[in-house]
Amino acid sequence: MSFRRLPPILAALLLAGSVPLASAGSTVVSWPRPGTTCQETSHGGVPASFASPVAMDMGGHADVTSVAVGELDDRPVAISAGAEHTIRIWDRATLEPIGDPIPGDGPVAYGTVDGRPVILGRSNGALQRWDATTRSPVGGPLPTGPFRSIAFGEFDGRPIAATAGTDGAYVFDLATGRRIGPRIGTGPFNAVALVRVHGVLLVLTGAVDTVIAWDPVSGKPVGEPLVVQPEFVQKMNTIRTTTIGGRPVALIPTADLGVIRWDLITREVTTHSLKGTFGPSSLAVLNGRTVFVSVETVGSIATDQNGSRLRSPISVIDPATGERLSSFEIPGHVTSLAVGDLGGRPMIVTGGRDNTVRAYDLATGRESAPPATGGPNGDVHGVNGELHRRPVVLAHGNDGEVLGVWDLGSGRPLDAPVRLPGRVTSFATGDYGGRAVLVAGIGLGDPSIRMFDLASHAPIGEPLIGYGDFVGGVALTEADRRVLVVGAGDRDGAAGDPSTPPGAVRIWDIPSGALLHDLSVANGRAGQLALIRLAGRPVAVTFGATRARLWDVGAGKRMASFRIARTELSAPVEIARFDCTTIAIVATGRTVELYDLATGEQVERPLLGHSKQVSGVAFGRVGGVPIAVTHSPQDKSIRVWDLTTSRQVGTLQRPSRYLGSLSMSYLDGRAVLVGGGREALWTWDLGPAA
């Protein structure tokens, strides 16, 4: 059975910092409460514009987009670039990192310029050179336009680089930074290679169905191009050159025609000599002969929910005969591949969509070093907390079994991640006995609720069990001098206890782990969970598809329910405190409704402006003004609202990657919005909080 991932838990009013002891008295909270006449007014404290989003350091790559190999100080190294816009250097024998990341992007290449090891990559859309030893830029950026492929080579005894992209191809002298010849073609090109034919240097560019040879000095084509006219469009993403029978040839992997072999002297084309569907590739020397090494796409390979292959077959082929010499599988969806020697043996280095750099012995197919793993995989979901009196962000990816902790001020990861026994479906932070703690709901693998000390990662108490398959929300609070964990779960009667309705709010005593109350939802599912205070008492609120329900946590009783606009169970809900009351901000499609949780009445000031469904909501204060931030990936906007007027007061720049969740935090008196996205966390400085 599959489940949709719920947004982070919604108890921001209660869970950050210490929870005060509840006063003795009645264990029943009356509801509805009397309406208030207080209404806040805006003093114009919200800035007219906001800063651009800043990506937090996720501790590694967010998809590996390119890899290269070489040597640094007589030490074999691998170079990798990731979608998070960093370039990293690894010891090729151990895959341990060397030095700090370089702020750059792929594609990358590696070589020597005037005796200096140099990394070639992309920076702000231009070709950039970095000294691999100092990690400092060498000269200024070289204007190439957006490029997709890069090749390192030599011309008249001088190191050169060729790039190819949407604006054509360019060739540069790497020592001087000067361009060699005019721009080549107009693009768009997907691949580039450098090769010598009869001692003359040629630039090969690959586009859709076409490979062209160019003179780098004149910028003119040389000879007839290779034009493929298959039944389906062939995108030429890779070109490798070698010698077969003493003649230079180009090997071009395609999606439908196998590897095309193009004789660069006779211009004869051989198709289907290397049958298969191939992707990233390289050349290696194995047992004295040159071999073609490539990722081979097989239709039966299983994929994850994002469409990435769970494993990738690696094929080793004799390019002269088309014979498959060996093959083996490695984990993940490999998107880049490079070949080098280690101790006299050929090895491959790969990068992929699982954020991981891997190394394998080409002869045996065995992994030669533990993989260099990156940041969380998939969509990242986070909540805010506090550790050592500093704001932190806890987040996990779709793999769901690892929770990382990031310092909000530096944007860097702290300590080691918290490892859990199953997929996390909800989590919250709080204070227990003066310690910062994590409460996590495990929904798949080992359905339970678990509590950890954030500083030591030590578990607190025994797992709280009893959910059939899904823990949709968790919270930590205190009532009548007892520390309580509140959990909301949606249970399938066929999968769990058929005598229990498929929705429940459960309340446990900590640290004994005793189940104090098991409260059922008569119709429908419990939905999302929030924790508020009414009359000084903790009250749990669950949001189903059409109703909000209130539960007295201390008494263990359902207090009341009221209708809300129809929404999905996973639609975002945020709790806000303004106008002297507690408000639920509920996204109902493209409209965002506001409900007074003290009275159950709908506030007559909905947030109107999005043209498509809202998927993220956050509440905070900027310049003393209560604001809401809403996000719709479908209308591609992030909007900021003044809640005293329900008017939009600004927009935020969207990050370059997918954004799925929003939450608000505060750092040194400033309001900071945190967004969880595709393998990334983003922050926006919204200005002074007060």
Higher pLDDT, 677 or 583: 583
User: What was the pLDDT predicted at 19?
Assistant: 34
CA angle centred on 335, ends 329 and 339, rounded to 5°? 70
Q: Render pLDDT for 238-284 as a digit per residue (tens, 0 to 9).
A: 999 999 989 999 999 887 778 889 999 999 988 766 777 888 999 99
Does the pLDDT of residue 575 top 50, yes or no?
yes
Greatest pairwise CA separation for the chain in angstroms: 95
Does the pLDDT of residue 666 top 80, yes or no?
yes
| H or E stretch covering 15 | helix 12-15
Q: Which residue has the tokens 């009414």?
A: 534
Are the beta carbons of 290 and 307 closer than 8 angstroms? no
User: What was the pLDDT predicted at 14?
Assistant: 35
Average per-residue pLDDT for the chain: 87
Bridge partners (DSSP) of residue 161 are 152, 172
Does the pLDDT of residue 178 top 80, yes or no?
yes
Q: How would residue 321 be classed by pLDDT, with cut points 50, 70 and 90?
A: confident
Average the pLDDT over 30-54 and give the result: 84
User: What was the pLDDT predicted at 493?
Assistant: 43
Q: Render pLDDT for 359-372 as a digit per residue (tens, 0 to 9).
A: 999 999 999 999 99
* Among 519, 525, 518, 486, residue whose Cα is nearest residue 502: 525
CA angle centred on 623, ends 619 and 627, rounded to 5°? 25
User: What was the pLDDT predicted at 26?
Assistant: 45
Least confident span in 56-60, 233-237, 535-539, 660-664: 233-237
State both tokens at 222.
């040389």
User: What was the pLDDT predicted at 445?
Assistant: 67
Residue 455 and residue 330: Cα distance in Å, rounded?
35
User: What was the pLDDT predicted at 524?
Assistant: 72
Q: How would residue 76 be classed by pLDDT, with cut points 50, 70 and 90?
A: very high
Does the pLDDT of residue 550 top 90, yes or no?
yes
Does the pLDDT of residue 606 top 80, yes or no?
yes
Residues in the chain: 690
3-state helix, strand, coil split of the chain in percent (to 5) is 0, 55, 45
State both tokens at 583.
């408000």
Higher pLDDT, 306 or 358: 358
Q: What domains are defined for the chain?
A: 376-688 (2.130.10.10)
User: What was the pLDDT predicted at 662?
Assistant: 92
Q: Render pLDDT for 423-473 as a digit per residue (tens, 0 to 9).
A: 788 888 888 988 889 898 887 667 789 999 888 888 898 899 866 556 778
State both tokens at 8.
């982070």
Does the pLDDT of residue 299 top 70, yes or no?
no
User: What was the pLDDT predicted at 528?
Assistant: 86
> Quick check: helix, strand or coil at residue 542?
strand
State both tokens at 474.
């968790």
Least confident span in 129-133, 185-189, 413-417: 413-417
**What's the start-to-end Cα distance of the chain, in Å?**
47
Bridge partners (DSSP) of residue 616 are 631
Q: Which residue has the tokens 């039966």?
A: 300
What is the strand order of the sheet 87-91 is part of? 64-72, 75-82, 87-91
Does the pLDDT of residue 170 top 70, yes or no?
yes
Does the pLDDT of residue 8 top 80, yes or no?
no
